[in-house]
Amino acid sequence: MIFKPKMAASRVRDGEPLSIVSKIWPNKFQAQCESRSEPTSTQWIKRADTERLREIFMKYASVEVKGEKYMSYSDFIRKYLGMLPEENHNEETLRLLGNVVDTTKDGKISFTEFQAFEALLSLPDAMYELAFQLFDTNGTGAVSYDEFEQVLSHTTLHQYIPFDFKTDFVNLHFGRDKRREVSYAEFTQILHDFHEEHALQAFRRFDVDHTGFITPLQFYDILTSLKSHLLTPAVKENVVAVTCRAKGSKVAGSDKAHKVSFPYFTAFISLLNNMELVKKVYLVTTGGNKKATLTKEELLHECQYYTQLTPLEVDILFQLVDVLGQQGRVSWKELDALAPLDIEKMPFSQQSIKVRGRNTEQPGLSN
Ligand SMILES: [Ca+2]
């Protein structure tokens, strides 16, 4: 989402980037894409063999220093990955992306670095690793506040709704003097918390009177600017209608009718984030029968075992299901239409399926 939010959003359902990648690494990110003989779903995560990889590398490497071939950032990002195709592309963007692969930070990409990048893609936490390397611009193995601000300020996310860096969020993670550096493990958590904090800031920005309410259109604005990766067409088309009709967003007898309350706002986003869990709960309850339908009460009963899913989230789920034309009953079809990610096609999912020798048809999260 950093540089091409539209591309990122539209690719989510193609099973390529997880939301985190669409935010951080806006690309198809298959370094070995050219090495596939057959594009089967599991094969693309396999590591390409060295010889084939070298062949690909040599095809793009335009720089030669003392008899050694290297890729320039432009060779790698623009010609090989096909990102930033515009002639007048942003040089800073190119530098930030090239820098991810150039671990020696000498401005060019060696075969070893190319190979390491390819290997990184087959790690189970590849997407977080990529994000970390993007933020760790000087390659010290830790992210400083300056790096965090520099990279985030360069995102379209920040351009839509500026992130306020002068907040407790920054103080808590980097210290008040901003001198604390963040390790990889901590960084993965920060990345997660950052998106929540940003949504929170956006709500406050629109709630100018501090009433705890925003309008459905403002809600729509926030969702499409900050959470577009969570919005399937079914959600996007119906979000305003749903929030206008929702009981949870009205205060009876007051002028707050048809407004979005803060709890509704957070529950809505949380539900979209949790859709894979909802699918799991559905499958457990129906014994794996995707044709079965469940009422709100049935689903709610099962959801008690999962603390992540609140009754308000289940309410919102059924409000969405209702506008999809299923009065009061939910089946796999509706869940699928609302779920932002096809988790079974995700690289980490494929990887763990492979490791455990499981069939890719099996539903559910692999972690
Ligand atoms: Ca290098």
Q: How far is the CA of 4 from the centre of ligand 1 (A)?
A: 26
pLDDT in tens, 67-91: 999 999 999 988 888 888 888 888 8
Nearest alpha-carbon partner for 353 in 14, 124, 125, 29? 124
Q: How far is the CA of 123 from the centre of ligand 1 (A)?
A: 21
Q: pLDDT band at residue 208, thresholds of 50, 70 and 90?
A: very high
Question: Average model confidence (pLDDT) for the chain?
Answer: 78
Q: What is the pLDDT of residue 48?
A: 58
DSSP letter at 182 equals B
Q: How far is the CA of 72 from the centre of ligand 1 (A)?
A: 9
Q: How far is the CA of 28 from the centre of ligand 1 (A)?
A: 22
- Please check the confidence at residue 19 and state whether its pLDDT lies above 60: no
User: Between these two residues, 126 and 181, which has the higher pLDDT value?
Assistant: 181
Q: pLDDT band at residue 363, thresholds of 50, 70 and 90?
A: very low
Q: How far is the CA of 138 from the centre of ligand 1 (A)?
A: 12
Q: How far is the CA of 44 from the centre of ligand 1 (A)?
A: 25
Lowest mean pLDDT among 35-39, 122-126, 183-187, 260-264: 35-39
Residue type, 210: H
User: Across residues 288-300, what is the average pLDDT?
Assistant: 93
Q: What is the pLDDT of residue 222?
A: 93
Q: How far is the CA of 70 from the centre of ligand 1 (A)?
A: 8
Please state, for a pLDDT cut of 90, what percent of the chain lies above it.
Answer: 45
User: Across residues 309-317, what is the average pLDDT?
Assistant: 93
Q: How far is the CA of 68 from the centre of ligand 1 (A)?
A: 12
d(CA 88, CA 239): 36
Buried-state track 315-345, b at ≥16 Cβ within 10 A, e below 16: bbbbbbbbbbeeeebbbbebbeebbbbebbe
- Please check the confidence at residue 5 and state whether its pLDDT lies above 80: no
Lowest mean pLDDT among 47-61, 66-80, 288-302: 47-61
User: Across residues 270-292, what is the average pLDDT?
Assistant: 93
Q: Are 182 and 140 in contact (CB under 8 A)?
A: no
User: Across residues 31-46, what is the average pLDDT?
Assistant: 40
Q: How far is the CA of 33 from the centre of ligand 1 (A)?
A: 22
Q: What is the pLDDT of residue 16?
A: 27
Q: Are 300 and 314 in contact (CB under 8 A)?
A: yes
Q: What is the pLDDT of residue 131?
A: 86
Model pTM score: 0.70
User: Between these two residues, 297 and 13, which has the higher pLDDT value?
Assistant: 297
Lowest mean pLDDT among 154-158, 217-221, 284-288: 154-158
Q: How far is the CA of 195 from the centre of ligand 1 (A)?
A: 31
Q: How far is the CA of 78 from the centre of ligand 1 (A)?
A: 17
Q: How far is the CA of 325 from the centre of ligand 1 (A)?
A: 55
Q: pLDDT band at residue 257, thresholds of 50, 70 and 90?
A: low
Q: How far is the CA of 43 from the centre of ligand 1 (A)?
A: 28
User: Across residues 48-62, what is the average pLDDT?
Assistant: 88
Q: How far is the CA of 175 from the centre of ligand 1 (A)?
A: 32
Q: What is the pLDDT of residue 145?
A: 95
Q: What is the pLDDT of residue 250?
A: 47
Q: Classify the C-alpha dihedral 65-67-68-72 as positive or negative.
A: positive
Q: How far is the CA of 139 from the centre of ligand 1 (A)?
A: 11
Q: What is the pLDDT of residue 278?
A: 94
Q: How far is the CA of 86 from the centre of ligand 1 (A)?
A: 24
Residue with tokens 């399937």: 232
Q: How far is the CA of 137 from the centre of ligand 1 (A)?
A: 13
Q: Are 281 and 303 in contact (CB under 8 A)?
A: yes
- Please check the confidence at residue 39 and state whether its pLDDT lies above 50: no
Q: How far is the CA of 71 from the centre of ligand 1 (A)?
A: 9
